[in-house]
Amino acid sequence: MKPTPNLPQQHAWTLEDFHGRRELRKSSDKPGAGVRSDWKSLRLPDGANSLRNQPLGRAVGKEIRTAVDATAGLGYDTYALALLGVEVLALERDANVFALLADELARAKNDAQLCAAAARIQIEHASAHQRLPTLREKVGFTLGLFTAREFILPDMILLDPMFGGERGAAKPSKEIQALAATVGADLDADALLDMAIASATQRVIVKRSRLAPPLSGRVPDWTIKGKLLRFDVYRAGAR
Ligand SMILES: C[S@@+](CC[C@H](N)C(=O)[O-])C[C@H]1O[C@@H](n2cnc3c(N)ncnc32)[C@H](O)[C@@H]1O
């Protein structure tokens, strides 16, 4: 993998090992106090039912069975989709963020509470710009639901690029700070929208800060609004 193209390379956060798990640490952090992914922190007491009425669940709807999370980051949305029963291929291009995603998936597969949804997740260290156009090829994408299909296109693609590093919160969380310093703003994200619409059979969902302009300036077919975030939904009909 080439390094992420838009990175202003910052070295304030480094990937360190702590008892066999990796974390992104600032020089001021004690070992163990770094940023990891932690899907349990989503606190969904009623599992998928807790999600169905939330904005992401409403944007996904009930028909979606397969998805590509093209900008997976720490995988919280990936896990939420899997909890909704969706088989997910998650793509992350930054090597350090991918390491945290891979560690959390490995941990989740061995966790009684998370393992059922985790079994529906595959991850790839890949750039969506390069991977989305290859989704029709069977190589590397062997989700059970697709094995009988001629084409291997997902029902849905989720895009959640970094947008200037902020998410509408007054003070960004430590996770957001680590991501913003590690991957920067995803300045090349606009091009992903057309690619995604050409590669999904039903819909593309773009997660945005509440007041951010639509990705690529393209007006969505409909929008689901949350308090800080919104989900712009685009119809797709790839065949
Ligand atoms: C805002 S974060 C995603 C957060 C994620 N939705 C979650 O729930 O944890 C955006 C991530 O997308 C990744 N990314 C951006 N453009 C990408 C691309 N073209 N291919 C793969 N990953 C990409 C960035 O490296 C970053 O980790």
Q: Does residue 131 line the site of ligand 1, with CB under 6 A?
A: no
Give the pLDDT confidence of 71-111 residue by residue, as tens digits.
Answer: 999 999 999 999 999 999 999 999 999 999 999 999 999 99
Structure-token pair, residue 70: 């093209």
- Residues 100-109 as b/e (b if ≥16 CB within 10 A, e otherwise) read bbbbbbebbe
Ligand 1 atom 13 nearest Cα: 71
Strand bridging mode 229-235 / 203-209: antiparallel
Give the pLDDT confidence of 103-136 residue by residue, as tens digits.
Answer: 999 999 999 999 999 999 999 999 999 999 988 7
Q: What's the gap in Å between 54 CA and the centre of ligand 1?
A: 21
Q: What is the pLDDT of residue 136?
A: 79
Cα torsion at 203, 204, 209, 213 (round to 10°)?
A: -100
Q: What's the gap in Å between 74 CA and the centre of ligand 1?
A: 8
Q: What's the gap in Å between 162 CA and the centre of ligand 1?
A: 7
Domains of the chain: 51-162+181-235 (3.40.50.150)
Confidence of residue 148 (pLDDT cuts 50, 70, 90): very low
Ligand 1 atom 27 nearest Cα: 73
Q: What's the gap in Å between 175 CA and the centre of ligand 1?
A: 13
State the closest ligand 1 atom to the C-alpha of 37, by its place in the atom list counted from 1: 9
Q: What's the gap in Å between 16 CA and the centre of ligand 1?
A: 20
Q: Does residue 154 line the site of ligand 1, with CB under 6 A?
A: no
Ligand 1 atom 26 nearest Cα: 73
**Mean pLDDT score of the chain:** 88
Strand bridging mode 156-159 / 203-209: parallel
DSSP 35: B
State the closest ligand 1 atom to the C-alpha of 73, by its place in the atom list counted from 1: 27
d(CA 134, CA 183): 24
Q: Does residue 175 line the site of ligand 1, with CB under 6 A?
A: no
Question: Backbone phi, then psi, for 186, in 5-degree steps?
Answer: -85, 80
d(CA 213, CA 71): 18
Q: What is the pLDDT of residue 163?
A: 79
DSSP 194: H
